[in-house]
Amino acid sequence: MRAGSRTGNRGGAGRTAPARPAGADLPQPAGPPGVHDAAARAVRHLLDRQDPAGWWKGDLETNVTMDAEDLLLRQFLGIRDEATTAAAARHIRGGQRADGTWATFHDGPPDLSATVEAYVALRLAGDAPDAPHMARASAWIRAHGGIAAARVFTRIWLALFGWWSWDHLPELPPELVFLPPWVPLNIYDFGCWARQTIVPLTVVSALRPVRPGPFALDELHTDARRPVPPRTYAPLATWDGLFQRMDRALHLYRRFAPRPLRQAAMDAAARWIIERQENDGCWGGIQPPAVYSLIALHLLGYDLGHPVMRAGLDSLDRFAVWREDTAPGPDGLPAGPAPVRMVEACQSPVWDTCLAAIALADAGLPPDHPALVKAADWMLGEEITRTGDWAVRRPGLAPGGWAFEFHNDNYPDIDDTAEVVLALRRVAHPDPDRLDAAVDRAVTWTLGMQSGDGAWAAFDADNTSTLPNRLPFCDFGEVVDPPSADVTAHVVEMLAAEGRAHDPRTRRGITWLLDRQEPDGSWFGRWGTNYVYGTGSVLPALAAAGIPASHPAVRRAVAWLESVQNDDGGWGEDQRSYQDPRTWAGRGASTPSQTAWALMALLAAGERGSKAVERGIAHLVRTQLPDGTWDEPHFTGTGFPWDFSINYHLYRHVFPLTALGRYLYGDPFTPGTH
């Protein structure tokens, strides 16, 4: 969910980057024609998209499980309406492929769980199981193991309606909430996104509700008479075998758990959930914890009119993106224009706004431009000044920084904080003391969130236990938050821009980055796809910190980027590089955002004027649309590597503009580029 920039103030805190009138800093490059016009069109497009309040936000597209689970939630709570269902179904049908399946990213392989959930949602919408598009889906599901082979989260949703047995799901005892932070597998051993989901699910697991669905799903079992295959156990001497037996013991414990203890645990879980509800009614600014929290609280007696429930449901409505479009009807055939509803997994206004401000500044917009000042005002208003869950690992650390979303005061993230600081330093704000104070708090907090190995993660410090990922329950995505190269790079870049390049803590981060370079010269990208993203984050950071372009690590990275450039001059990388890096690292159809990341890295490494850079810039100019933006159907963002992919709809614009701006005007803080 994150991205790299090459910005900042190398001279120290409290100073604003100088304005760069077009063409004043650099001789005009003898590069592809039309670069200035392309940058000017992109600037106009981005300025036109700014909200009057000062922020930018692009749609955040994931996959149809978000839409399917939203309908299942509404069915479970008894609030599903036909208009919402029909609009969501049009979106779901629009993502089905010719073989009847759904993928989790553009042009990706079929995904069993996504296909099961989409199929069930369309059954709720009234699509007949013998309709051709439904028959293709159910046949594919049966051929690939049926419901029994779907991931745990999918089967939990089905268990809520009696389509799967709770007895055949991993046990999640609510007593987990009582474990202190020093005990293995306590809730703070999980990443913030996982703990926010697991706590309410412990309540759901304990109560095992069933509200019978309006139809059977026999057609999704390989054998409807024996839907659950015999369970096989890994050897006891292995971690998988140990946790499987632990799960069996927890199923036994369920039968004998003291009722007062269990009730106390569920009450504690409810308090934990309610205490973390955001001001807008959501939880953590993301959709999955919200849906499970609403189910858990409803099961504990909170009726739909309760303020907590009303606010939570209203917040979910704000995750819906409505549009008018042509989409398939219930028979799977094309229909006329009609309302289509897509549910975002979360919203990214802080992230989008800081990246947009950086892009505009890089493209030569003066630092006192009203759009930049308005953006800075809005970002300053989003600063988080209260303590959240991060303090469990860092007690006594003063709060500061920014989150990703409109409302998420419990979980600021280090990546957004680094990029917001870099963006703020590009603005000549009328109240510099206010800006400096916010930046100082953010720098102090970020330094305090450094993990013990010298690097930085996204949300927590030292969230590195490997045990949570081994639980039978955790078969979808990462549930811990270890440090990553992309986040560490953004922090190093920010600290260097604040005059802290020689701070021992910054140097530890640089050492960590150099030690984590892949043998081929790239870096792994945790929050973006993937090795292009990681490399595009690290090279600008190393340059900002004073690592010379002649350094061996930099030369290896440049050579790798040049080796994976596509024939059309762009760069791309498929999500499959997370599973199969040997085949897919740096390989995929060219995309605007990934081309821009590679260019930003090469420019930071002193490669302006090289053949690779000239070809990359020409690709961006050639593929720009008449309205000043670019088309990018491919997913270049990452929630969980491989398991949850993201298409940030503003990435296709802000990063190409940043690359064009740095090509034209260079970086005013790096010697030799202007």
pLDDT bucket at 30, cuts 50 / 70 / 90: low
Neighbour-count burial for 590-609, b at 16+ CB within 10 Å, e otherwise: bbbbbbbbbbbbbbbbbbbe
* Two structure tokens written together for 667: 């970086």
List Cβ neighbours of 230 (8 Å cut-off, separation of 6 or more): none
Closest to 345 measured CA to CA, from 514, 131, 197, 559: 197
pLDDT bucket at 328, cuts 50 / 70 / 90: confident
Q: What is the pLDDT of residue 478?
A: 85
Average pLDDT over residues 389-404: 96
Cα-based torsion angle of the residue sequence 39, 42, 47, 49 in order, rounded to the nearest 10 degrees? -170
> How far apart are the two ends of the chain, measured CA to CA in Å?
31
Sheet holding 637-640, edge to edge: 60-61, 644-648, 637-640
Look over the chain and give the mean of its residue pLDDT values, rounded to a whole number. Answer: 92
Q: What is the pLDDT of residue 4?
A: 40
Residue 673, pLDDT > 60, answer no
Question: Pick the catalytic residue: 415, 416, 481, 667?
Answer: 415
Q: Give percent helix, percent strand, percent coil of the chain, each to the nearest 5.
A: 50, 5, 45
Residue 510, pLDDT > 50, answer yes
Mean pLDDT is lowest, of 35-39, 206-210, 253-257, 331-335, for 331-335
What is the separation of C-alpha 578 from the centre of its chain, rounded to a whole number of angstroms?
Answer: 15
In this prediction the pTM is: 0.93
* Two structure tokens written together for 164: 């799967």
Average pLDDT over residues 283-294: 93
Q: Domains, the chain, ranges and CATH?
A: 35-61+346-464+485-665 (1.50.10.20), 65-217+232-343 (1.50.10.20)
Q: How large a percentage of the chain has pLDDT more than 90?
A: 84
CA dist 233 and 241 (Å) reads 6
- Burial class for 540, CB neighbours closer than 10 Å (0-12, 13-18, 19+): buried
Please say if 67 is a catalytic residue: no
Q: What is the pLDDT of residue 33?
A: 82
Q: What is the pLDDT of residue 242?
A: 83
pLDDT bucket at 163, cuts 50 / 70 / 90: very high
Helix (H) or strand (E) segment spanning residue 210: none
Q: Give, in order, the Cα–Cα distances in Å from 664 to each of 18, 30, 365.
A: 16, 10, 13
pLDDT bucket at 490, cuts 50 / 70 / 90: very high
Closest to 658 measured CA to CA, from 611, 614, 603, 605: 603
Q: What is the pLDDT of residues 408-442, one digit of tens each?
A: 999 999 999 999 999 999 999 999 999 999 999 99
Q: What is the pLDDT of residue 245?
A: 85
Q: What is the pLDDT of residues 511-529, one digit of tens each?
A: 999 999 999 999 999 999 9
What is the separation of C-alpha 334 from the centre of its chain, rounded to a whole number of angstroms?
Answer: 32
List Cβ neighbours of 317 (8 Å cut-off, separation of 6 or more): none
Residue 665, pLDDT > 80, answer yes
